[in-house]
Amino acid sequence: MTQDAGAHQEPAWLLRTRTSYDIDASGYAERVHGLLGARSDLRAHLDVFAEFVRRDGGGPIVDVGCGPGYVARYLHDAGVETFGIDLAPEMVTIARRDHPHIHFRQGTMTDLDLEDRSVGGVVAFWSTIHIPDDSMPHVAGEFFRVLRPNGCVLIGFHVGDAIQHSSTGYTGAPISVDTHRRRPGTMSDWLREAGFRIEWESLLRPDDESPGALVLARRP
């Protein structure tokens, strides 16, 4: 079958996101180094997620937008086979360097290079924050497609309503990336529309300037 060349054209926002994280990979990795050690709330949610995946059919788990790979490492150490996919090749290089026993590769959640029903868990920690609203139903559909029935998706994100544009990375280098803050109910509605059932919506540090949320959903 011949492919329509236009079908593979990368949207400008995706190209900007990839380029920005390639430029800022080392700065970002340094910034989040040791984060899970300091965040028992995140660890607690990851522990329950790992338990659900183990109990309800096993892995693998795919860490989508894995960045430097510490979430994949945590889940792997919790006893569930886990691998990571990230848009930015420089992030993949850092993840492989820091966790050489775990598989990481380049890819995008907008077009996952995974077979239908091939994974037991999808985790996306603060990575869908770079997907515009109008592409989120498609991304939720990708998560649903690759999960086996009874598999779970866990999505972490910044809470709010605004889109924040960043033009300077953690290293001080120029970047250009948008961060989309969202209400937990909005995320849950995208997941429901894709076919998921919501297991929980957690609001983290609601009194902070930048609260977070975790939504866990199951493919029936």
Ligand X SMILES: C[S@@+](CC[C@H](N)C(=O)[O-])C[C@H]1O[C@@H](n2cnc3c(N)ncnc32)[C@H](O)[C@@H]1O
C-beta of 107: minimal distance to ligand X in Å? 6
5-13, 51-59, 102-110, 147-155 -> range binding ligand X (CB under 6 A): 102-110
Binding mask 16-35 for ligand X (x = CB under 6 A): -x---x----------x---
Helix H or strand E encompassing 153: strand 147-158
Classify 86 as helix, strand or coil.
strand
Using CB under 6 A as the binding rule, whether residue 87 contacts ligand X is answered as yes
Classify 12 as helix, strand or coil.
helix
Residue identified by tokens 């800022």 is 24
**Backbone phi and psi for residue 164, each to the nearest 5 degrees, phi listed first:** -105, 130
C-beta of 220: minimal distance to ligand X in Å? 25
Residue number, 23 or 217, with CB nearest to ligand X: 23
Residue number, 53 or 88, with CB nearest to ligand X: 88
Residue 112 makes CB contacts below 8 A (sequence gap 6+) with 62, 64, 85, 142, 145, 146
Sign of the torsion angle spanned by Cα atoms 7, 9, 11, 15: positive
Residue number, 57 or 204, with CB nearest to ligand X: 204
Summarize as ranges the residues that interact with ligand X (CB under 6 A).
14, 17, 21, 32, 64-67, 71, 85-88, 91, 108-110, 125-127, 130
